[in-house]
Structure 1
Amino acid sequence: MTEEIQAIGPGLNRPAPDFDAPTTHGRKSLADYKGKWLVLFSHPADFTPVCTTEFIGFANRQDEFAAMGVELLGLSIDSHYSHIAWVRNIKEKWGVDIKFPIIADLDMKVAKAYGMIQPGASDTAAVRATFIVDPEGVLRAMVYYPMNAGRSVDEIHRLLVALQTADENACAMPENWKPGDRVIVPPPATDAAAEERVAEAGDDIEVIDWYFATRAL
């Protein structure tokens, strides 16, 4: 069963697939990001309009990600020469510096390990997949977009803030949670704890029902 799961691709809350690949900043491996959060994101091809907007979006937010201890790493099934030319083109035409590395995955090893190749979309290009890896190398989130719709860098940033906040405060986040919003208190696991939860209702914890309670951070 384990082999079948691994054949499908990466899994949430499991070690992220290891890699050692050439990039526009030299060779990079998963071990290089130990102790930091990593956003690994794939795009179908260099010199394509949707991908260009995405890279500009990531570049414009790179300082915000860095302040959170987050590194960015792009990937496509193109050569590093193509990546270099594209990065220079974005600088020339849009005035934006792409300062994060981009994996040149010509043999598709990284793309296949991460399930970035989706036969229903393409056998030779990576879809718009985004993977968030925590400082321990554990895969915490996966988001896939189709070829013809660009991803939301705002949402990826929000998701990272939510993950980090949830880890720090042992809580869960409601739909579209943002800093300053109330968080969800983990539900009780026993009948006795459920009774205690209802009794806890007050200024600190708002109890809607035994399984649904929120609190401010």
Structure 2
Amino acid sequence: MSLRINDVAPNFTAETTQGPIDFHQWIGDKWAILFSHPKDFTPVCTTELGYMAKIEPEFTKRGAKLIGLSVDPSEAHGRWLADIEETQGSKVNYPIIADHDLKVAKLYNMLPAEEPGTSEGRTAATNQTVRSVFVVGPDKKIKLTLTYPMTTGRNFDEILRVLDSMQLTARHKVATPVNWKHGDDVIIAGSVSDDDAKTLFPCGWKSPKPYLRIVKQPG
């Protein structure tokens, strides 16, 4: 069964480059960005892990933690991380899950539950569906999922943008329009009546249509 937004993120224990973790305990009261990779020493993923290392402080500012996953054992991860630092100029300080037994990939429906074997003898092509991003909230529920093809590098600036939107809309009764960026105007949520909106947004709003009520970003 596929995972959907607002499903509880499946919990697991796993070995990582920073020791064993219980995923839900590791998240704690933070947001979590879990992003997966089909194989160590793959070119596109090397650039992705390096870029995430570079912008990790931006996630930290937003109360979010990063954790990668790759279908290989920890020993291979260690050698790969050295390559990433050398070629991308950024040291990876977040943990990488060693999913050599395919347990997490199956748990998160990136590989079929009946998939046999371990990482031994598998190729990136065999694991090509293990290229997903899961954003998990402090309530341990899935807030966003994305899956990319192997040849397309992920846009992690977009994950920051979406995180800004989700955190804003969790605090205020608004939604963010197309291509919204932090500081842009927002839309009053459809669940808010005009009478309630007058209290929440006393400065008023622009309304080109009754269902489209545009206000300055709150906060």
TM-score (structure 2 length as normaliser): 0.85
Q: Does structure 1 residue 161 correspond to structure 2 residue 154?
A: no
Q: Which residue of 1 aligns with 2:13?
A: 20
Question: Is 1:104 paired with 2:95?
Answer: no
Shift of 1:117: 2.5
Structure 1 residue runs of 5 or longer lacking an equivalent are 1-7
Query: 2:211 is matched with which residue?
Result: 211
Q: CA deviation at 1:46?
A: 1.0
Contact 2:50-2:85 within 8 A present in 1 as well: no
Letter in 1 for 2:178: E
Q: CA deviation at 1:197?
A: 8.6
Instruction: Please report how far the alpha carbon of residue 122 of structure 1 lies from its aligned counterpart in structure 2 after TM superposition.
Output: 5.2
1:62 corresponds, among 43, 56, 75, to: 56
Distance verdict in 2 for CA 1:198–1:183, change over 3 Å: closer
In 2: Cα distance, 1:197 partner to 1:128 partner? 43
Q: Which residue of 2 aligns with 1:4?
A: none
Structure 2 stretches lacking a partner, 5+ long: 116-123
Which piece of structure 1 moves more, 147-156 or 107-116?
A: 107-116
Deviation at 1:170, TM superposition (A): 2.1
- RMSD value over aligned CA atoms? 2.5
**CA–CA separation in structure 2 for the residues paired with 1:34 and 1:25:** 17
Per the alignment, residue 119 of structure 2 pairs with none
Alpha-carbon offset, residue 69 of structure 1: 0.7
Letter in 2 for 1:206: K
1: CA distance, partners of 2:198 / 2:160? 36
* Contact kept? 2:50, 2:89, Cα under 8 Å: no
State the match for 2:120 in structure 1: none
AA aligned to 1:138 is K
TM-superposed deviation, 1:125: 4.7
Distance 1:143 1:117, change over 3 A: same
Code of the aligned partner of 1:165? L
Cα separation, 2, equivalents of 1:188 and 1:67: 30
Letter in 2 for 1:28: I
Note the C-alpha offset of 1:206: 1.3
Residue 34 of structure 2 corresponds to 40
Corresponding residue pairs, total: 205
Task: Tell whether the 8 Å contact from 2:17 to 2:77 is kept in structure 1 after alignment.
Answer: yes
Residue matched to 1:3? none
Distance 2:68 2:191 in 1: 41
Q: Quote the residue 1:173 is aligned against.
A: 176
Partner residue of 2:188 out of 185, 190, 215: 185
Query: Contact 1:128–1:151 at 8 Å: present in 2 too?
Result: no
Verify the 8 A CA contact 1:25 1:101 in the aligned structure 2. Answer: yes
Moved over 6 A (4+): 197-202
State the secondary structure of the residue aligned to 1:47: coil
